[in-house]
Structures are given as C-alpha cells and as structure tokens.
Structure 1
C-alpha cells in the first residue's frame, strides 16, 4: 500500500482507519546515528526543543472516502531529521486541524510563538499525533483536534458543533486532516478569549490568534497548506 492517495486536492473523508504499529519505524531504526547528531545541532540552536513522542506514517492510502494507514511512535528528534530527509524516506507525516469557524463565519487561526520550530507560522491550532491520541491502536482524530486546541488556545471545543465529515489535503510536506468546528461567538470575542489565555500562560506555545474573514484575507506567515483550506471554506464547500 505504501503511500497511495491523490495529492493537492481536498478529499472528503467518512472514515479514518489509521493504526499504531508497536514496532519501530524503519526510518528511525536505520538512521539512529544521524538522528542523534542532528538533534545535538537542533538543540544547540534552540534549547527549548523537547524530545517527546510523536508518530510517523509508514503507510497511507485513500479508498472509497476512507483513509487507511499505519504509523509508528518515534522521538521528536527522529521527526526533525525526517523533515530534512523526507524524500524517498519511506515515511510521511499527517496532522489534524480543527477549522475554528466563528458565529460570523470568520476563521480563527493562530500564529506560532518565536521559540517554536514553526515560529511565526499561521495555521489552525494543531499538533502532531501522539500515542495518547489512539484508542485500542486506532487514531481518534477529533480527540487530537480538541486536545491541541485546548492546550494552545484554552478553548474547549468538546461541545462545539462539528462538520458532518472530515476532509483531507495531501501535499509534499504532509497530509492535513481537517474538520469544521463551529463556535457561536463572533471572531473578535473568540480572539479575545485566546489572547487572554496566552497572556496567562508562563510559556505559551502560540503568539496569539489570527482572524481570517474572507478568501483573500491571507495573513503574513500563512502556512502553504492553509490557502486551499481557507478558499474551500469561504466557497461554502463541504
């Protein structure tokens, strides 16, 4: 199966069957020395980095509106080397976005903090899948979305109205799985709540909220995968 899904097109997703393999990822197994050397360089440049646990895919396919795949837990240091050697690595990255839709139909994204790997980047609050996001070996995408939004913004989306299905966009840098989450409050009010949370944090992960009000309202630092998502939303798709 390996990696077999359409690229650069937004796909409707009705089911996600991505499972956590307890074995090591071949990329981690075959590059242990290079991973350690690269991590020394990365942490010398940014001592705030933490070598936690994330997951990398070894397979992903799209069949009959389903995402089917296999992934493995790896150290963040492995992920950092993979970012530099992703071509023909036998590994890919997937992540999830809760597309936060305000009551006035504006989108509320975030800008990453200056101490993070994605410093200054604008996208919907998100983070890599971790082992905690799996239930009996099967990924729980919405759990990941809600967890990451809460950790980064202080917002609890567990009771928010969700889009009827997920969607996915696969580009060379990775596959984003996204879903609309509707909050009744207007965008300015949501942004105030996020800003208040960021101010209260000792070491916030994000710089603050970013409101996107229409398809041409593309802020500086917008991550490349975000433009098609923004256009999709304001075109009333999904």
Structure 2
C-alpha cells in the first residue's frame, strides 16, 4: 500500500472493485478465524457472521484511491483485527462526519451489543454486498445507509464536501467527508436520542458532542483523534 500512514490526503475518485477470488487471508486463516469466532460469540451472542468487505492491493495516485474488494465473513474480519497489521490486508470503511450549525462534531457511542461496545466514532459500518453497485463499492450509499440506520438522520439532501479524504492507520483506512447539518449539536443529539428510544434493539447508546480538540473521548478508535484535530485545525492544514 502506497498511502502514507497517519496522514490525511484528499481523494477525488474512489475505485474499489469487487473481485471474485477469495481474499488470501481468509483462505490461509479459515480454521483460526472459526476458533476465534466461537470465543467471540460466547462472549457476545448478539454478533452475526454476515458478509463484509476486506481489501487488498490498495493504492492512491493522483487523488484516485484504488483497491481490490473481497467479500469475507465477519468472523474473518474480527480475527484479522486481533493480529493486524498483516501485509496486503486492509479494512477500508467510510465515515460521514456530522458537523452541526454551531461547529461541533456529532459522533455516536456504540452499544454493548456491538463488537465495539462503548466506542465513540461517527455512525458507520463495514462495506457490505448491499453497498456494491456495478461491481464497485459505493461509499456514499454506505454512509447514508449507516447514518440512517443508527441515527435516523437522512443525509440525502444535506450539504457536504464534494470530495473525500482518506486516513490510513494500523487499524485500517477511513474514507470520510463532512456533512453540514442545519441543526445545532444539541438538536442533533436530541433527534438521535429520540431515534434510539424508538428502536427495539439499537446499535448505539446515543450521540456524543465534540466542540474542540479537548473534547476527544478516551473510548475512541485510533483514527478519531486525527480526524477531530484535522477538523478543528487551522485552514492551512485542511
């Protein structure tokens, strides 16, 4: 992968192409992944072994992010997380950064029933087969779907940046762009709370408001602090 680690770079085009062959990692670690899944399910019976995307051959040149997309079982992905980094195995996922009218960021806190209990990050999920259109991963489709499912917010008519940004960490690569909502942070949080209350089995506990770099929570994935600092940083750094 030629993407510089720990740096946020602009991405004007996303070319994540589905391939038919299984990911070499899934083939090589099938038995180990099955054993690990048994342990994970014993600890959290709510987990479901669905299909998600894991990538190989990741490159970014002239603003074009390219990679081969392999569909694997969720159990394979969870096992990879325990031994990452692994050469030529990358988890690419998307984040819609919700920005309130008063300039705050509004991520969410994951519920105990998920694989990331208590973690705070922007509403998101791994790419799934439903996010693949015409043989390519559609990150916008994924972002809109995940935000709608988890928060009840419809992003289809919300103003956003035209292009994406990518941040590569040891934990994976996040592809993101900002969405500028008309509501204040408190109003957005209230709307999300109402959505969570209406759900029989919500994926999140509610919203979390970040108003400055000092508001970064401790329970957050590796990529979040970099994204928060980038958002609140000086214009010259954006």
**Residue 18 (structure 1) aligned to one of 16, 19, 27:** 16
Q: 1:6-45 alignment to 2 at 5 Å? A: 6-45=4-43
Q: TM-score, normalised by structure 2?
A: 0.96
CA distance in 2, matches of 1:37, 1:63: 38
Long gaps (5+) in structure 1: none
3-state DSSP of counterpart to 1:191:
helix
TM-score under structure 1 length normalisation: 0.96
Q: How far off is 1:164 after superposition? A: 2.3
Which of 210, 230, 233 aligns to 1:232? It is: 230
Question: Contact between 2:84 and 2:170, CA under 8 Å: does it hold in 1?
Answer: no
Q: How far apart, in 2, do the equivalents of 1:20 and 1:9 lie?
A: 26
Q: CA deviation at 1:89?
A: 4.9
**Whole-Å Cα distance in 2 between the matches of residues 171 and 39 of structure 1?**
24
Shift of 1:33: 1.5
Deviation by residue 1:53-103 (Cα, 9 ceiling, x = unmatched): 101001111101110111100010111111112233531101100000111
Gaps of 5+ in 2: none
User: Is the contact made by 2:164 and 2:175 (CA closer than 8 Å) also made in structure 1?
Assistant: yes
**Cα distance between partner residues in 1 of 2:219 and 2:31:** 34
Matched, 1:223 2:221: yes
Name 2:48's counterpart in structure 1.
50
Do the aligned partners of residues 87 and 215 (structure 1) sit closer, same or farther apart at CA in structure 2, a change above 3 Å counting?
Answer: closer
- SS, match of residue 198 in structure 1: helix
1:161-189 CA-partner distances (Å, limit 9, x unpaired): 11121001001110000100111011100
* 2:205 equivalent to 1:196: no
- Deviations 1:124-154 (Å, cap 9, x if unpaired)? 0010011111111111111111110001111
Matched length: 236
